[in-house]
């Protein structure tokens, strides 16, 4: 049977990128998705904004919701100092299997914990299972209707503390209206929109950065 799009992305990494070189993995995926087949990676344009936020926050613990093929996982992990790590949650086992291989090819497996399962099931266990006190940075890039309920769940579980930064992809396309309304109107968040484009296209999209101000 036909290969899947994630399998074709992995093949592009394995034929075009150098083992242990995260930048070459990022470049290979962006080239494939721009010139061969569109895919829902955060991409190079929004990816540069993600990089600048990671560098600004210098996080020790990062939560990524929605791994897909591991493109943004590699973007984040390549910027982390020794001892820092990204926990990334993926619901789809086929995506997770590809992402593990992409992350391994980039040589960043020591900085990444890939967890397979639903965000709603896993978030309540993060403290106990991973010894996480609170996240310094959360990158939301999973099902768009999960952004708001999962943000509220992270708050309830004490995984968001004063200074935690939430960075949300796709707030315009496909769009996350209820999440945007919440973080922009809540007195507990300082929110900022970074205008950009949907990955590999001219369609408007952007990232929303929201800093938790405490209770």
Ligand X SMILES: O=C(NCCc1nnc(-c2ccc3[nH]cnc3c2)[nH]1)c1cc(-c2ccc(F)cc2)cc(O)c1O
Q: Name the residue among 73, 113, 69 with its Cα closest to residue 94.
A: 69
Catalytic residue flag (residue 170): yes
- For residue 194, count CB atoms less than 10 angstroms from its CB and return exposed for 0-12, middle for 13-18, buried for 19 or more: middle
**Do residues 111 and 81 make contact, with C-beta atoms less than 8 angstroms apart?**
no
Q: In a 3-state reduction of DSSP, which class is residue 104?
A: helix
Q: How far is the CB of 34 from Mg ion (least distance, A)?
A: 16
Cβ distance to ligand X smaller for residue 95 or 179: 95
Q: Which of 136, 141, 205, 208 is catalytic?
A: 141
- For residue 156, count CB atoms less than 10 angstroms from its CB and return exposed for 0-12, middle for 13-18, buried for 19 or more: exposed
Rg, Å, the chain Cα set:
16
Give the one entry of Mg ion, ligand X, none that residue 173 binds, where binding means its C-beta sits below a cut-off of 5 to 8 angstroms depending on kind.
Answer: ligand X
Q: How far is the CB of 83 from ligand X (least distance, A)?
A: 26
Cβ distance to Mg ion smaller for residue 42 or 134: 42
Cα–Cα distance between 93 and 163 in angstroms, integer? 33
Residue 141 is a binding residue for Mg ion (CB under 5 A): yes
Candidates 11-19, 53-61, 136-144, 153-161: pick the segment binding Mg ion (CB under 5 A). 136-144
Cα–Cα distance between 63 and 89 in angstroms, integer? 8
What x/- string results for residues 155 through 194 when contact with Mg ion is judged by CB under 5 A? --------------xx------------------------
Catalytic residue flag (residue 127): no
Could you list the residues that contact ligand X (CB under 6 A)? 40, 65-66, 68, 89-92, 95, 118-119, 141-143, 146, 169-170, 173-174, 198-199
Q: Which of 144, 150, 208, 209 is catalytic?
A: 144
Cα–Cα distance between 174 and 8 in angstroms, integer? 24
Give the one entry of Mg ion, ligand X, none that residue 97 binds, where binding means its C-beta sits below a cut-off of 5 to 8 angstroms depending on kind.
Answer: none
Cα–Cα distance between 208 and 132 in angstroms, integer? 24
Give the one entry of ligand X, Mg ion, none that residue 64 binds, where binding means its C-beta sits below a cut-off of 5 to 8 angstroms depending on kind.
Answer: none
191 beta partners: 210
- For residue 202, count CB atoms less than 10 angstroms from its CB and return exposed for 0-12, middle for 13-18, buried for 19 or more: exposed
Catalytic residue flag (residue 141): yes
Catalytic residue flag (residue 44): no
| Residues labelled catalytic | 141, 144, 169-170, 199
Site residues for Mg ion per CB under 5 A: 141, 169-170
């Amino acid at each position: 049977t036909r290969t899947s799009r994630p399998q074709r992305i992995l093949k592009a990494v394995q034929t075009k990128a150098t083992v242990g070189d995260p930048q070459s993995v990022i470049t290979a995926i962006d080239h494939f998705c721009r010139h061969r087949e569109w895919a829902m990676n955060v991409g190079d344009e929004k990816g540069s904004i993600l990089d600048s936020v990671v560098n600004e926050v210098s996080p020790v613990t990062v939560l990524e919701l929605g791994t897909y093929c591991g493109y943004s996982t590699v973007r984040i992990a390549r910027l982390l100092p020794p001892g820092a790590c990204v926990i990334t949650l993926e619901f789809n086992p086929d995506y997770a299997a590809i992402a593990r291989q992409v992350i391994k090819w980039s040589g960043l497996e020591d900085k990444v914990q890939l967890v397979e399962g639903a965000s709603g099931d896993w978030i309540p266990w993060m403290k106990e299972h991973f010894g996480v006190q609170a996240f310094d940075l959360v990158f939301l890039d999973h099902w768009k209707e999960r952004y708001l309920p999962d943000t509220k769940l992270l708050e309830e579980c004490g995984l968001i503390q004063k200074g935690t930064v939430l960075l949300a992809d796709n707030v315009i396309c496909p769009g996350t209206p209820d999440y945007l309304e919440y973080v922009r109107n809540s007195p507990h968040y300082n929110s900022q929109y970074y205008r950009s484009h949907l990955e590999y296209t001219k369609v408007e999209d952007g990232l929303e950065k929201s800093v938790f101000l405490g209770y």
